[in-house]
A = this chain, B = another copy of it.
Amino acid sequence: MTAAPRFAPVILAGGSGTRFWPRSRRARAKQVLALDGDQTMIQQTLARLLPVAQAGDVWIVTNHLLDRTIAEQLPDVAAEHILSEPAARNTAPACALAAFLLEPASPDTVIGIFPSDHVVKDSQRFAEVLAAGIEIAASGEKIVVLGVPPTRPETGYGYIEQGAQVLAIEPLKSKIPVKVFRVRRFREKPDRHTAENFLAAGNFAWNGGIFLWSARTLANAIREHSPDMAPILEKIAAAHGTPEFESVFAEEYPKCENISIDYAVLERRSAKGERRSEIYCLPADFGWNDLGSWASLHEHLGQEDTDNVIDGATTGLVTIQSTGNYVYAPGKMVALLGVDDLVVVETPDALLITTRDRSQDVSKIVKSIHESGKMEFI
């Protein structure tokens, strides 16, 4: 083996907080909450990268509502590596900025794009798959995507259609090889029927938003597929580290197209065909969960669907003929009597009562509060 390539994870942490209302708020989005343990989502994200990356090589792209909280939560990440977008422009400009920042000095550095608000059950396997992906991304103009093995006909995710298997990488400390497939196509969020067909076909994976490519590969891909965006981001990158950076960033960044990296680069590149696109998919078989709703948090924390998951009820719990509930009520004596599949979340200023089935609609509540102008609650 050759020396490990330099690896720079870019953690995307600009999301707003609506799905986990009332715990999540604009300035307390999901990624800075400790939803499933002592560590916040972004702390977990960093912790699971550190077996493969140096903390000094980590970048964060976030916004001004969250940057201070993130800096406090991640003291090992350099302050100048925490970039606060002057305006939300989806993921393509955020990813591309990292490429243009790193390309001049170290074009071979492998950039990894990581959402900041997902959970992984098997961190060791995550590191193995990641190390394999970095190895591939370091060799030429290749793009690596991690594909989550689908377990249900989910209509809320994009899908990756895998082509031929080209390789299997044996991790150093594991006997489970990491398979490497070509990517045939990226598929947008499907309808139910299409999702069922994908699941039945067996060669489709969920797109979990984790990508690996060298700085040069990503920068060139932006130049080729989003030519308007490239000069803007090169100008911003050139100002990094100078006193003018903040003003250049604020001035130029909003000019970028508001587009996801999937649309801006991956789908356009994959149109070249399975072989010429050089996009590879590695199965993300490490217990990934995007925690998209209170119901997915219940699923993540409970052993069985019928389990009551009671967060923070440190002083006591009484359940009588009640199953499948998720309750967050820190420090309270919680009593459930004859209720099933509810979600009840209590914070110092708010109380949410819904069901697991309806919890994906919590954003409707946030929208309603927004319309009422009570901004202190969102």
Contact = CB atoms under 8 A, between A and B. Distances in A.
Contacts of A334: 350-351, 353
Contacts of A358: 321, 337-339
Chain A interface, >50% SS class:
mixed
A353 B327 contact: yes
Contacts of A313: 351
Contacts of A336: 353-354
A352 B313 CA distance: 12
Contacts of A332: 346, 349-351
Contacts of A374: 315-316, 333
Given A333-B374, A374-B333, A339 B353 contact: yes
B337 A377 contact: no
Nearest to A313: B351
Contacts of A320: 361, 364-365, 368
A325 interface: yes
A368 to B, nearest CB: 5
A334 B349 CA distance: 9
Interface string A329-348: 10111111111001010100
A91 to B, nearest CB: 29
A357 interface: yes
A22 interface: yes
Contact of A339 (B349, B354, B362, B377): B354
Nearest to A359: B337
A10 to B, nearest CB: 35
A372 interface: yes
A318 B377 CA distance: 12
B337 A339 contact: no
Interface in A28-50: none
B338 A350 contact: no
Contact of A368 (B318, B325, B350, B353): B318
A325 to B, nearest CB: 7
Given A333-B377, A368-B320, A372-B316, A351 B344 contact: yes
Contact of A337 (B315, B325, B349, B362): B362
Contacts of A362: 337
A155 interface: no
Interface in A355-378: 355, 357-359, 361-362, 364-365, 368-369, 372, 374, 377
Contact of A333 (B316, B337, B369): B369
A329 B342 contact: no
Interface of A: 21-22, 313, 315-316, 318, 320-322, 325, 327, 329, 331-339, 342, 344, 346, 349-355, 357-359, 361-362, 364-365, 368-369, 372, 374, 377
Given A335-B365, A339-B353, 9 more contacts: A325-B353, A332-B346, A333-B351, A334-B350, A335-B354, A336-B353, A337-B352, A339-B342, A339-B355
6 contacts: A21-B335, A315-B377, A320-B364, A333-B369, A334-B353, A339-B355
